[in-house]
Amino acid sequence: MTRGLAIFFVLLCTTMAACGSARRGEPIAGPIVLTTETARHGQVVFMRNCYQCHPGGEAGLGPAINNKPLPQFLIRYQIRHGFGAMPAFTEDQLSSTDLTALLEYLQALRRHG
């Protein structure tokens, strides 16, 4: 009984954490200013590969990604291996340099919102 309750509690917390913030429209802080060339390149990579499902980092066809404080290694894993409806992006489709730039852009997007 206790083990079942613990599993239920973990699942409940995980589900609640995945909900994130409901407000992800126009940023209060104004337009995002990218200070590094890597982040600017990451924005280009995002627009080319991610924007169609995650417009502006918000929920669209895919869930919002600009309010999920996952560690970079988990985001990298999800991009490389896919998850649910999200396709995997292989090294041929998205180079390591592009992936690193994308992760830097996503960090900037999260800090900005």
**What are the chain's domains?**
33-112 (1.10.760.10)
Interval 65-93 mean pLDDT: 91
- Retrieve residue 20's tokens: 């994130």
Highest-confidence segment of 14-23, 66-75, 83-92: 83-92
What is the full DSSP assignment across the chain?
-HHHHHHHHHHHHHHHHHH--S--SS-TT-S----SHHHHHHHHHHHHHTTTTSGGGS-SSSPP-TT----HHHHHHHHHH-BTTBPP--TTTS-HHHHHHHHHHHHHHHHH-
Q: How many Å apart are CA 35 and CA 66, to the nearest integer?
A: 18
Per-residue pLDDT, 9:
57
Q: How many Å apart are CA 30 and CA 28, to the nearest integer?
A: 6
The angle subtended at Cα 50 by Cα 108 and Cα 81, nearest 5°, is 100
Please tell me which residue, 73 or 8, carries the higher pLDDT value: 73
Interval 70-78 mean pLDDT: 91
Per-residue pLDDT, 23:
45
pTM value is 0.71
Interval 9-29 mean pLDDT: 53
- Per-residue pLDDT band for 6 (boundaries 50, 70, 90) equals low
